A and B are shown apart, each in its own frame.
Chain A
């Protein structure tokens, strides 16, 4: 999976590394700012109220 992705990246090894870092950072940012806020309400590890 990642091997195939690596081979598709253009340029020299250095440029490819840069691309890989950019792709990883973009994925992380999308998860952090868009996906995780939607998932968070489903996690009830911090229930603090009494009663219902």
Chain B
């Protein structure tokens, strides 16, 4: 009886330790994969100098995302696609949505707690903060307009004019999405922006 109880206790403690290790893996271990992929994607972006926008294959690098409010060194290569496999590599661009700088809605989703957590702190963005999207052909500077918390099925935020699916766009919008609250899949945090200026590159 005593031995049985002791074994149960030891197994429970072991299970607890393994769970703690698993949580550590989710928060920090998964970032190693993202870091290695980001290195390749950012290198590909640095090498490419296309004069005009090009269609990117799923899994390829779309543009470099910089957010000065989140630090001078904040930069992530945005990957084409939003499947689980794509989002492990970095923030993902919805394939059906506008390209960087294009009229319509450039929509990007990113992890908040796992896989290097690129969008962990986008809740700190305030109105008029800059979001810079460096595409091969030009540098697009968006300005944050607002934030929102929505249900996971509110696809209107993906519309060419965010939140207004029936209206035809005349401006270039940007929409970032991540999970909310942190460590949860219950809702989505959304940051909206609009194009402020664009500078062609390589001239």
Task: Using CB atoms and an 8 Å cutoff, list the residues of chain A in contact with chain B.
Answer: 1-3, 28, 31-32, 36, 39-41, 43-51
Contacts and interface: CB of A to CB of B under 8 A. Distances in A.
A44 B150 CA distance: 18
Interface string B65-87: 00000000000000000101001
A50 B185 contact: no
B18 A51 contact: no
B111 A36 contact: no
Interface residues of B, number: 37
B186 to A, nearest CB: 9
B112 to A, nearest CB: 6
Contacts of A32: 21, 25, 29
A41 B153 contact: no
Contact of B185 (A41, A45, A51): A45
Q: A28, A44, A50: which has the most chain B beta carbons within 10 Å?
A: A50
Given A32-B29, A50-B154, A45 B21 contact: no
B177 A28 contact: no
B145 interface: no
9 contacts: A40-B30, A40-B114, A43-B26, A45-B179, A46-B113, A46-B185, A48-B178, A48-B188, A49-B82
